[in-house]
Amino acid sequence: MPPRPQVSVFIATSLDGFIARPDGSLDWLEAANRSIPPGEDCGYGAFMAGVDTLVMGRKTFETVSGFPEWPYPGKRVIVLSTQADAVPAAFTDRATRRAAAPEALLAELAITGARHIYLDGGVTIQNFLRAGLVDDITITLIPLLLGAGRPLFGGLEAIQALTLTASRAYPFGFVQNSYRVIRD
């Protein structure tokens, strides 16, 4: 059996822990990103350089497939969904649908050569955390309160301990914290 790929989360949240508005809108994040100076990407480019596979939920895929440019050129993208039409025909050369539990998907991806997986989407991240399959989490906190929305974290069966590995405050107000997930 090949080694298990590293599984990472790299995401932004509002200060109150939301990754999107209740309707899935990211307008607040797009507005906040306008405060970032040209050439600054808060470490995203370096992170993506080490990623070979993305795993995201259908709702996240629907959001990114509407971007003006495909944000993941050269990366394998897996869309977790039970809906057969989760990946429209226009995107079948960019993404593949799977309806698998996190453990089964990770085993499949290991066999096919995945080394570093980037998880995106609240429900997908929550499911992989519940399965004990997330290795590290980088959260960029955006200094605003949405009051309601789609949370990054959901209910867990047990407390999940993390170790802070890095923290950086940016002059434009973002704070980025990186954590390693502690396994029992």
pLDDT of the residue at 140: 98
Domain that holds residue 117: 6-181
Who contacts 172 (Cβ-Cβ below 8 Å, separation ≥6)? 35, 36, 37
Task: Give the domain CATH number at 21.
Answer: 3.40.430.10
pLDDT of the residue at 93: 85
Instruction: Answer whether 123's CB lies under 8 Å from 59's CB.
Output: yes
pLDDT of the residue at 172: 96
Residues 32, 104: Cα–Cα separation, whole Å: 37
pLDDT of the residue at 1: 73
Q: Is residue 66 part of a domain?
A: yes
Task: Give the helix/strand (H/E) hosting 71.
Answer: none
Q: How many CB atoms lie within 10 A of CB 78?
A: 22
The predicted model scores a pTM of 0.93
pLDDT of the residue at 139: 98
Per-residue pLDDT of the chain (184 residues; tens, 9 = 90+): 788 999 999 999 999 999 999 998 899 999 999 999 999 999 999 999 999 999 999 999 888 888 888 899 999 999 998 877 778 787 888 888 989 999 999 999 999 999 999 999 999 999 999 999 999 999 999 999 999 999 999 877 788 899 999 999 999 999 999 999 998 7
Q: Is residue 156 part of a domain?
A: yes
Q: Is residue 46 part of a domain?
A: yes
pLDDT of the residue at 150: 93
pLDDT of the residue at 54: 97
Instruction: Answer whether 31's CB lies under 8 Å from 174's CB.
Output: no
Instruction: Give the single-character DSSP code of 3.
Output: P
Whose structure tokens read 């209740």?
A: 22
Q: Is residue 1 part of a domain?
A: no
Who contacts 102 (Cβ-Cβ below 8 Å, separation ≥6)? 127, 128, 131, 133
Q: Is residue 138 part of a domain?
A: yes
pLDDT of the residue at 155: 79
Q: Is residue 132 part of a domain?
A: yes
Q: Is residue 170 part of a domain?
A: yes
Q: Domain count of the chain? A: 1
Q: Is residue 57 part of a domain?
A: yes
- Encode burial over 143-175: b for 16+ CB neighbours within 10 A, e otherwise: eeebeebbebeeeeeeebeeeeeeeeeeeeebe
